[in-house]
Chain A
Amino acid sequence: MSAIALPRAAAARAPLWRRVSSQETLLAAAIIGLAVVVGLINPRFLAANNLADILLGNAYIAVAAIGMSMVIITGNIDISVGALIGVLATVSGSLAVAGAPIAVTWLAPLVLGVAVMGLQGVVVAYLGIPAIVVTLGMLSILRGGLISVTGGKWITDLPDAFHLYDIEIFGVIPMPVAIMAGATILAAAWMRWWPRGRAIYATGGNAEAARLCGVSPRRTLVLVFLLHGFFAGVAALLFATELRVIQSTTPSGLEFTVITASVVGGVSILGGVGTVVGSTLAAILIAEITSALVFINVSPFWTHAVQGALILATVIADIVRRRRRLAGDVR
């Protein structure tokens, strides 16, 4: 978003896997390392159910971060996602209470999410309004709108069937985790092996060039926003079905959490680089940190400070790594 739009070169002749995976490995290492350290201080942290709960409670962030990463890779950003998730969750819940078929209550947020994000995508791509502006506006529209409509009435006594969270695949893998993993893998594969997926990087890397290669940056951008909306819908679904109560307000600051997950995951805000595997790992790491701080008795007053510091450290690590790789290219 600044004049530093000069393309970042990557290591010459580096095998693709190395280029895309370095931040992922770094994150994976961090996740394990942290688990070990905290485990030494307080073994309970490593209890299977605790680790599972960390994943469960934050799956929706990881899922939302998938779409966000795509958006950021195209060189855009979306700060309306938090509000949107709130809205979609409310819609889904209201339908469930109103007695709509479960299938409908599950599909509605996906469809609506795609619609809203698609609209924003069109505005960004075809009317050339910066994404940050459009989504900033949409943020307040959604936040205000939701309350005007619902009056913030909580949604309670949801039908049991509605609760995706209680479903377990093969009786072992909880649905949210399955969805998180599945979505991540599918998205990653798609962005790696499918032409339209690659087009996302092309658009982010050099839109003009993409256009002359017969890849329409605009259509790609809209597609990305559509997908982002879809994942936001899935996230909203997880968000809505986790508890027996839906607040029908917009979770404040969620957008920043999601963006943080993406950038910590190694997605370059300058566009063109990053993977969703990274963002998912990052989401997990951040959740892990939050939980770990409680386990090692960090004063609750300081938790946010520590979180911020750690996030900053990871981001700097990523940048420094890229820079060193870049320096390596110059003979």
Chain B
Amino acid sequence: MSAVPTSARAPRIIVRHEIILAAILVVALIGLGRLNDRFLTVDNLLNQGRLMTEVGLIALPMTFVIVTGGIDVSVGAMVGLCAIVLGYSWKNLGFPLPLAIVFSLGVGAAAGLANGLLITRVRVPPIITTIATLTLFRGLAEGISQAHSVRGYPEWFYFLGQGAVFGVPTQLLILLVAIVVFGVALDRTSFGRTLYAIGSNETAARFSALPVDRIKLAAYALSGLMSGLSAFVLVSRVTTTRSDMGMGYELDAIAAVVLGGTSIFGGSGTIWGTVIGLVMIQLLKNGLALTGVKGDATIVVIGVVLIASVLIASSLQRRRE
């Protein structure tokens, strides 16, 4: 009974990959910790958690999307759009702030749903769809905002982005909850299982009476919804709203997912892997910065780590097959 696998494709390999990644992570942390005594402090780590939340919230549904063999590069633009909608509907349409928040989440979900519909109904390949909507959503954000940034939110609004509960950043708690929810959903539910089936063999999934299109729609809509949530957190953290928010988040999120061992071709991958990937990137950036490595050099290191880790993982995989 204990042998029940945790994921679809060759379970042990995935687990193996995550363990290796985790090991690398731990080693890196210890190393960086030795180099700088301010790195491995509760404060710093919690603070990093605060800073990685926005991308993290996006990386979770991105994992779902990539597991189905798709991809969503429009998430960054959706963050921008949602942020603007939030601010605009509050400031210019006079929505009460809570309503504005809900509204922007709704818009996010709708945007994601639009992606999903184009992909499932019109059958435009995901990457093409989302590249096009990337421009579209960003454009809508600029158009709606007319380049005005919205500021001066009430104090309570900042609690999510800057506040803390028992010393833990509020948004980090949200991220943790989201991680558990998404992790369980992917690992334990029929929804998650269907995601894997779609990614491994869409046709067979269809012929197994699985609601392929609905599940894909859900995945992309979720991606939009979480972009909205991410936008909410971001606006609350930086106290202002701009149409260029979330630029480049898509690549950060994808990097985290891929680093976490999710196959870009779909059918395999876990939330836990994504989380490790996410933490790894964030803490590498932070740790390197603290040890005096400049931002530009850090980016280089991230790139190398990304390629190297995937190389190791795949060579391992090949050895086992």
Interface of A is mostly: helix
Complex CA distance for A141 and B307, rounded to whole angstroms? 10
Q: Which residues of B contact A143 (CB under 8 A)?
A: 296, 299
B199 within 8 A of A: yes
Residues of B contacting A263 with CB < 8 Å?
128, 131
Question: Which chain A residues border B73 with CB–CB below 8 Å?
Answer: 256
Q: Is the CB of A308 within 8 A of B138?
A: yes
CB atoms of A128 and B69 under 8 A apart: no
B147's nearest neighbour on chain A, judged by CB, is: A301
Within 8 A of A (CB), among B102-133: 118, 122-129, 131-133
Residue pair A148, B296 in contact (C-beta under 8 Å): yes
Contact with A along B240-272 (1 / 0, CB 8 A): 000000001001001100100001111100000
Contact yes or no, B135 A311, CB < 8 A: yes
**Among A49-57, A102-110, A131-139, A276-284, which stretch is in contact with chain B?**
A131-139
B73 closest partner in A (C-beta): A256
Q: Is A184 part of the contact surface with B, judged by Cβ < 8 Å?
A: no
Q: Interface residues of A, CB < 8 Å — how many?
A: 51
CB atoms of B258 and A136 under 8 A apart: yes
A269 interface contact, C-beta 8 A: yes
Residue numbers in B under 8 Å from A319 (CB-CB): 122-124
Do A309 and B136 touch (CB < 8 A)?
A: yes
**Residue A147 at the B interface, CB < 8 A?**
yes
What A residues does B311 contact at CB under 8 A?
A: 123, 127, 129
Q: Is the CB of A308 within 8 A of B307?
A: no
Q: Does B139 contact A (CB under 8 A)?
A: yes
Interface residue? B209 (CB, 8 A): no
Q: Say yes or no: is B211 at the interface (Cβ < 8 Å to chain A).
A: no
* Residue B303 lies at the interface, judged by CB distance under 8 Å to chain A: yes
- The stretch that binds B, out of A2-10, A36-44, A228-236, is A2-10
CB-CB contacts of A293-305 with B at 8 A, as 1s and 0s?
Answer: 0000001011111
Whether, in the assembled complex, A320 has its beta carbon less than 8 Å from a beta carbon of chain B, the answer is yes
Q: Chain B residues near A79: list those with CB within 8 A.
A: 251
CB distance from B16 to the nearest CB of A (A): 17
Please state if A303 and B69 are interface contacts (CB–CB under 8 Å): no
Q: Tell me how far the C-beta of A279 lies from the nearest C-beta in chain B, rounded to whole angstroms.
A: 13
Given contacts A129-B307, A133-B264, A3 and B200 within 8 Å (CB-CB) = yes
Q: Which residues of A contact B139 (CB under 8 A)?
A: 302-309
Q: Which residue of A lies closest to B200 (CB)?
A: A3
**Residues in chain B near residue A213, CB distance under 8 A:** none
Given A144-B298, A145-B300, A302-B143, answer yes or no on A2-B122 (Cβ-Cβ < 8 Å).
no
Tell me the bound Cα distance from A303 to B310 in angstroms: 39
The residue that A136 contacts in the complex, of B147, B263, B306, with Cβ under 8 A, is B306
Query: Which residues of A in the span 94-138 have a Cβ within 8 Å of any Cβ on B?
Result: 123, 127-130, 132-134, 136-138
A211 within 8 A of B: no
Chain A hits for B127, CB < 8 A: 1, 77, 269
Q: Contacts A77-B127, A316-B124; is A308 near B258 (CB within 8 Å)? A: no
B140 interfacial contact with A, CB 8 Å: yes
Known: A148-B294, A269-B125. A130 touches B265 (CB 8 A): yes
Say yes or no for B142: interface residue by CB 8 A criterion: yes
A-B contact pairs, 28 of them (CB 8 A): A1-B71, A1-B125, A1-B264, A2-B125, A3-B202, A3-B203, A4-B123, A130-B264, A132-B71, A133-B306, A137-B304, A137-B306, A137-B307, A141-B299, A141-B300, A144-B303, A145-B300, A147-B296, A260-B132, A263-B131, A306-B139, A307-B135, A308-B136, A311-B132, A312-B133, A316-B118, A319-B122, A320-B122
Which residues of A pack against B, CB within 8 Å? Answer: 1-4, 6, 77, 79, 123, 127-130, 132-134, 136-141, 143-145, 147-148, 252, 256, 259-260, 263, 268-270, 299, 301-309, 311-312, 315-316, 319-320, 323
